[in-house]
């Protein structure tokens, strides 16, 4: 199966021309039901079903994000295969330091184990990611490379500022290849619905479509995958789609709850 890239569910782009504004983040835990939206015969995929739990917490000095995915894929020739991914990260609120721990299982067997930390001395200077798993793996980061939570906050700022297209480097630790090149298109704002039965969804939101080009994709004009989502002004993703070209997986918000504030 192609690289899932699920760790970049909230990727975003920082726009230097946008006026500075703090994003009023809602720390939350969201559960998404995942299903196969469409599949072309060339994919060989007959089904996809699973669940994703995304938790964004406030750790006082940084943002703590925990993500867990269980996805069962059905293949025309080989039958079903279950992919499980656990992803735990911490990111400083200034966006300069990042720690990550990724564990991937396929059919219950270890498939990949990644762990490390990354930092940039300043947003306009090069940085480095140092993996402890695999040992002694170092990856250079270009100036202006962003980490995942900073992407989410920056995307909200860009949307509020009326930006419609931005492109930047993104590093999440989900691969030893390095940072992805991400191009994002931001659609028109949707006003808050004060009558939504879920209070946490009574916020403005924007449709966002992102294309991810891996660090090892070279001059390939086609992205590894595309991510679409409806992103609220407080960082909550209402619904998402993961498009791999020959098949698309839909992630529909099934449950959401607000996390308690930290004791700093």
Give the mean pLDDT of 10-30. Answer: 59
Share of the chain above pLDDT 90, in %: 76
Give me the DSSP letters along 148-212: HHHHHHHHHHHHHTT--EEEEEE--SS-TT-PEEEEEEE---B---TT-SSGGG-S-EEEEEEEE
**Among 120-134, 148-162, 208-222, which stretch is predicted with the lowest mean pLDDT?**
208-222
Does the pLDDT of residue 7 top 70, yes or no? no
Give the whole-angstrom CA distance, residue 256 versus residue 238: 9
- 192: nearest Cα among 206, 173, 172: 206
Q: Which DSSP state fits 12?
A: -
State pLDDT tens for residues 117-139: 999 988 788 999 999 999 889 99
pLDDT score, position 4: 43
Give the pLDDT of residue 21.
53
Q: What pTM was computed for the model?
A: 0.88
Q: Please give the helix or strand (H or E) that residue 153 lies within, else none.
A: helix 148-160
Mean pLDDT of the chain: 89
pLDDT at 15: 30
Check if the beta carbon of residue 164 is closer than 8 Å to that of residue 15.
no
| Residue given tokens 């090892």 in the structure block | 216
Give the DSSP H or E segment for 239.
strand 237-243
């Amino acid at each position: 199966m192609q690289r899932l890239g699920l760790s970049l569910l909230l990727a975003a782009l920082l726009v230097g021309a946008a006026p500075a504004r703090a994003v009023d983040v809602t720390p939350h835990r969201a559960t998404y039901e995942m299903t196969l939206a469409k599949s072309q015969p060339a994919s060989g995929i007959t089904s996809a079903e699973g669940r994703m739990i995304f938790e964004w917490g406030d750790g006082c000095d940084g943002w703590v994000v925990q993500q867990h995915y269980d996805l069962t894929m059905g293949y025309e020739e080989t039958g079903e295969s279950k992919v499980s991914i656990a992803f735990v990260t911490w990111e400083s609120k200034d966006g300069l330091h990042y720690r990550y721990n990724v564990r991937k299982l396929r059919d219950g067997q270890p498939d990949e184990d990644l762990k490390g930390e990354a930092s940039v001395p300043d947003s306009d200077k090069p940085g480095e990611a140092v993996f402890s798993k695999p040992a002694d793996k170092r990856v250079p980061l270009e100036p202006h490379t962003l980490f995942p939570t900073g992407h989410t906050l920056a995307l909200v700022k860009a949307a509020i500022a009326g930006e419609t297209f931005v492109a930047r480097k993104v590093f999440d630790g989900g691969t030893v290849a390095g940072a992805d090149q991400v191009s994002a298109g931001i659609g028109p704002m949707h006003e808050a619905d004060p009558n939504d039965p879920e209070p946490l969804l009574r916020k403005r939101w924007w449709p966002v479509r992102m294309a991810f080009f891996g660090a090892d994709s070279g001059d390939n004009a086609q992205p590894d995958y595309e991510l679409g989502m409806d992103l609220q002004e407080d960082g909550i993703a209402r619904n998402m789609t993961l498009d791999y070209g020959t098949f698309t997986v839909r992630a529909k918000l099934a449950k959401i709850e607000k996390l308690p504030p930290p004791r700093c």
